[in-house]
């Protein structure tokens, strides 16, 4: 099924303009959502706004927007003033600079879109895709749409381009805000942990190998409910037990690893621990001395 474009835009790459279409990369239809209903008659409920001063329901045509500049004090705006505040939507993806992808921490990654060429933009689109693949870089760009300016990253993907929306620096909390408890790691513990990582290491990320088990279970339970059956709670396994002995926990994890992975890790460990022996070739017998030859003949 061909994807439907949600918007159009133009990539500005130097003096080159590339008309493109934007496609959503996510599939919202796979999400499970519930609606609020009236328990009395099953009617669907609608949301209403209530004034906190007089406790009256307020209709939308009686609402205005305000900005809280101090506690419970607001400055209000008309629709015209709000429109003047918005960034003019040019739909232009203005490339600013190029950078290796490894230089951008994934913590800045936000929503992803796919970009496809508009009619007449195929050659320029292919050129930008190929130069990013060849140089191993991504393009950082500014994108003005929906009244906002976004920082985005263009990267090659399966012969095309993906546009990754990025967060600004002031939208990311500093990791220094996270309280960390210091712990001394022993060399033996580190070695066992490395073996555990080794057992579960794969060379390629295959997203199709993973699925949302919780969503799958809920779908099954919903189908049972639709068919008139009752849903019963499934007892959950208790997790997050306190680690008393880290070494014993690591050893137990290694022993419970999949057999194929265990054999792989064991062979690596044996190869690492076994003493290296040089291959010994059969000793070459020295040629007999001429005198010894004459003695042998006599």
Task: List residues bridging with 129 in a β-sheet.
Answer: none
Name residue, tokens 């918005």: 86
User: How far is Cα 57 from Cα 46, in angstroms, rounded to an integer?
Assistant: 13
Q: How many percent of the chain have pLDDT more than 90?
A: 38
| Strands (E) located in 14-159 | 16-24, 49-50, 57-58, 65-70, 73-77, 92-100, 109-117, 137-145, 148-157
Q: Are 133 and 78 in contact (CB under 8 A)?
A: no
Q: pLDDT per residue over 5-19, tens digit each?
A: 888 999 998 888 999
Could you tell me the residue ranges of all domains in the chain?
7-27+87-171
Question: How much is the pTM?
Answer: 0.65
Q: pLDDT per residue over 34-52, tens digit each?
A: 889 999 999 999 888 999 8
For residues 39-54, b (16+ Cβ closer than 10 Å) or e, as one string? eeeeeeeeeeeeeeee
pLDDT at 23 over 70: yes
pLDDT for position 274: 43
pLDDT category, 295, cuts 50, 70, 90?
very low
Closest CA to 192 of 252, 267, 242, 273: 252
CATH domain 7-27+87-171 topology: Ku70; Chain: A; Domain 2 (2.40.290)
Q: pLDDT per residue over 176-223, tens digit each?
A: 999 998 888 889 989 988 988 888 888 887 878 878 777 788 778 778
pLDDT at 239 over 60: no
pLDDT at 290 over 50: no
Q: Are 133 and 156 in contact (CB under 8 A)?
A: yes
Sequence-distant (≥ 6) Cβ neighbours of residue 189 within 8 angstroms: 246, 247, 250
Structure tokens at 245: 């002995």
User: How far is Cα 261 from Cα 293, in angstroms, rounded to an integer?
Assistant: 62
pLDDT at 100 over 70: yes
DSSP 146-179: TTEEEEEEEEEETTEEEEEEE--GGGS--GGGS-
Q: pLDDT per residue over 112-162, tens digit each?
A: 999 999 998 999 999 999 999 999 999 999 998 877 889 999 999 999 999
pLDDT category, 26, cuts 50, 70, 90?
confident
Structure tokens at 295: 């003695």
pLDDT at 259 over 70: no
């Amino acid at each position: 099924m061909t994807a439907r474009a949600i918007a159009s835009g133009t990539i500005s790459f130097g003096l080159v303009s590339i008309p493109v279409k934007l496609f959503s990369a996510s599939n919202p239809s796979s999400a499970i959502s519930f609606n609020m209903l009236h328990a009395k008659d099953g009617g669907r409920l609608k949301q209403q706004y209530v004034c906190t001063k007089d406790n009256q329901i307020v209709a939308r045509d009686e609402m205005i927007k305000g900005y809280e500049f101090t506690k419970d004090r607001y400055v209000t705006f008309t629709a015209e003033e709000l429109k003047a505040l918005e960034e003019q939507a040019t739909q232009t993806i203005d490339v600013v600079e190029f950078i290796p992808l490894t230089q951008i921490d994934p913590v800045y990654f936000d929503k992803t879109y796919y970009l496809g060429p508009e009619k007449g933009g195929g050659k320029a689109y292919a050129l930008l895709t190929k130069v990013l693949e060849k140089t191993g870089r991504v393009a950082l760009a500014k994108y003005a749409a929906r009244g906002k300016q976004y920082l985005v990253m263009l990267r090659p993907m399966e012969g095309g381009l993906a546009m990754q929306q990025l967060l600004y620096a002031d939208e990311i909390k500093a990791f220094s805000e996270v309280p960390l408890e210091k712990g001394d790691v022993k060399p033996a513990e580190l070695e066992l942990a490395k073996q555990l990582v080794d057992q579960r290491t794969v060379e390629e990320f295959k997203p199709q190998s993973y699925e949302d088990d919780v969503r799958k279970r809920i779908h099954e339970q919903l189908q049972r409910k639709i068919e008139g059956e009752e849903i019963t709670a499934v007892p959950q396994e208790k997790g997050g037990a306190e680690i008393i002995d880290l070494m014993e926990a690591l050893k137990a994890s290694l022993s419970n690893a999949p057999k194929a992975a265990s054999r792989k890790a064991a062979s690596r460990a044996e190869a690492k621990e076994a003493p290296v022996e040089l291959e010994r070739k059969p000793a070459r017998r020295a040629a007999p001395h001429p005198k010894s030859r004459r003695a042998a003949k006599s």
